[in-house]
Amino acid sequence: MAAALGDPVRHALEAVLDAVRDRTDGAVADYIPELAKVEPEQLGAALASTHGVVHEAGDCDAEFTIQSVSKPFVFALAVDALGLDEVRRHVDLEPSGEPFNAISLDEASGRPRNPMINAGAIVMTSLMPGDTADEKFAVVLAGIERFAGRDLPVNEEVYSSEASTGDRNRALAYLTRSAGTLGAAVEVATLAYFRQCSISVNARDLAIMAATFATGGVNPLTRERVISEDAARWTTAVMTSCGMYDESGDWMVRVGLPAKSGVGGGIAAVQPGQFGIGTFSPRLDARGNSVRGVATLELLSERHGLHMLQHHGAPLSPIASLSRVEAGDADGGSDGDTVVALRGEILFSEAEEILTRLAPLVGDRGCLVLDFTAVTRVAAGARTIFSALPDTMGRLADGRSRVAVHDPDQVLGAAER
C-alpha cells in the first residue's frame, strides 16, 4: 500500500521546488570568503511531522552553516535553563524592524531588542553555563544536537573566518557588556557565538529541529524531551514576531509560519502542533533571507493552507451524543440518567461548549453522566473548569451527585505531556 501511494508530501515539496527553481535573483553571502564559495544552485526542502515522519525533496543532505537559524534554539536553551524572567533581564522581546546586525539596544535599559538579532543572540550565548568559550559552545552544541537528533560537525573554515572578521559583532558585544547585559567577557561570548554560527546542518536537520518546537519541546524522532513546553511556546512566539529580520511582519502576513533564517541559506519554520519545515538555498535577498527558501515557504503555505491563522472551519463538537438511560440499559448510568458521550481533544473552548450546553440539563430528574471514554486529551486550561464540577452541581434527593464523570482512562487526571 505504502509503495503504491508513494510519498505525496514529498511530491508536493518537489512541485514547489520546481516552481521556485528559476528564481536566480539574490546573491550568496560574501562577507567571508568561505560563504562566497558555496554552490548557489543548491535547493532542498524537508518537512518533519510531529509524528516523527520526515519527507525530503531536493538537496536535503547538502550541508551548510546554521548561522542565525541557531538563534531561536539557543534562546530556547536559555529560557529553559534560566527561566523567562531571568532571560528578560538581559534581552527584550520586541521586533526591532532593523537588520540582523543593527546596533539595536533599548535606550533606557541597554538591552538588545530581541534574541533573534545578533546583539541579543550574542547575549544569549553568553548566558550559557561555563567560563570559557569552549565550555559555553559545548553546551550550545549539545543542545542543538538534541534538537536535531544527531551529532553535528563544525565548519572550521567558516569559524576561523567569522572569528577573524567579526569585529562588528564584537562591537555589539562591547555595547551590551557596557550596558551590563552580557553574561561573559566579550571574547568568550563572541567566540562561542561564532562557533555556534559555524555548526553544519542540512535541511532535514532544520525540519526536525523546527518540529521539536512544533511538538512542544519533544524531538519527534528520538522522542527525547529537549526543552519544556513553556520554552517551546515562548521561543515560537519570538520567532513569530522577530524571526525574519526586518521582514518579519510581511512574512507573517504572507506565509504565517513562525520561522528563522540564516545567511548560510537555511530557514527553519514551525507550524505548532503539526510540523517543522527546513529549507536550504544559498542566494539571499537584500535582507539576508534565502530567496528561494522564502519563495518555497510562501508557495507551500499558499498551496496547502499552512498559515498559522488559517480559519479552520467549524470545529467538531466535543459532544458526540446525548442519551437517556432507560431501565435495562447499561450505559454507565442508572435508570433515568442522561449519558453525555464526549470525544476528541478538549481545550478551553470545548470545555466551554460542553458546560454551556449541558447546564440547562442539570435538574432533579436524574444524574448527568459525562462519559470521557472517547476523549483523547483534556488540556490543563480546560481541566480546571471541570475540576469543581460535580460538587458545584449539588446532589440528588437520593444522595447521588447531579453530575458524574465516567473517565476510565483518567484523561481528566492525567498529567500534561
Whole-angstrom Cα distance, residue 232 to residue 118? Answer: 21
* Phi, psi angle pair for 346, to nearest 5°: -110, 110
Q: Which of 70, 123, 245, 261 is catalytic?
A: 245
Q: How far is CA 278 from each of CA 29, 55, 353, 393, rounded to the nearest angstrom?
A: 19, 10, 38, 51
The closest of 10, 147, 183 to 66, measured between CA atoms, is 147
- Active-site annotation holds for 164: no
Residue 297 near residue 281 (C-beta atoms within 8 A): no
**Would the CA dihedral through 372, 377, 382, 384 be positive or negative?**
positive
Compute the least distance from the CB of residue 261 to ligand GLU, in Å: 7
Where do runs of H (alpha helix) occur along 95-166? 118-126, 133-148, 156-165
Compute the least distance from the CB of residue 173 to ligand GLU, in Å: 11
Compute the least distance from the CB of residue 25 to ligand GLU, in Å: 19
Compute the least distance from the CB of residue 29 to ligand GLU, in Å: 8
Residue 263 or residue 367: which is nearer to ligand GLU going by CB?
263
Question: Which positions touch ligand GLU (CB under 6 A)?
Answer: 67-68, 100-101, 118, 162, 169, 197, 262-263, 288
CA geometry: angle at 321 spanning 315 and 326, to 5°? 170
Q: How far is CA 266 from the centre of its chain?
A: 16
Whole-angstrom Cα distance, residue 93 to residue 113? Answer: 6
- Active-site annotation holds for 71: yes
Whole-angstrom Cα distance, residue 91 to residue 72? Answer: 13
The closest of 355, 14, 417, 27 to 223, measured between CA atoms, is 417
Compute the least distance from the CB of residue 188 to ligand GLU, in Å: 16
Residue 269 or residue 404: which is nearer to ligand GLU going by CB?
269
Compute the least distance from the CB of residue 186 to ligand GLU, in Å: 14
Whole-angstrom Cα distance, residue 317 to residue 341? Answer: 11
Q: Which of 69, 186, 193, 201 is catalytic?
A: 193
Q: Which of 16, 158, 263, 378 is catalytic?
A: 263
- Active-site annotation holds for 174: no
Residue 162 or residue 337: which is nearer to ligand GLU going by CB?
162
- Active-site annotation holds for 260: no
Residue 74 or residue 358: which is nearer to ligand GLU going by CB?
74
Residue 71 or residue 343: which is nearer to ligand GLU going by CB?
71
Compute the least distance from the CB of residue 68 to ligand GLU, in Å: 3
Residue 143 or residue 262: which is nearer to ligand GLU going by CB?
262
Q: Which of 49, 68, 96, 261 is catalytic?
A: 68
* Phi, psi angle pair for 86, to nearest 5°: -65, -45
Whole-angstrom Cα distance, residue 129 to residue 361? Answer: 57
**Residue 384 CB: number of other CB atoms within 10 A?**
12
Residue 96 or residue 169: which is nearer to ligand GLU going by CB?
169
Tell me the one-letter amino acid at 100: F
- Active-site annotation holds for 186: no
Locus of grid cell 508530501 = 9
Element (H or E) spanning 238, and its range? helix 229-242
Active site residues: 68, 71, 193, 245, 263
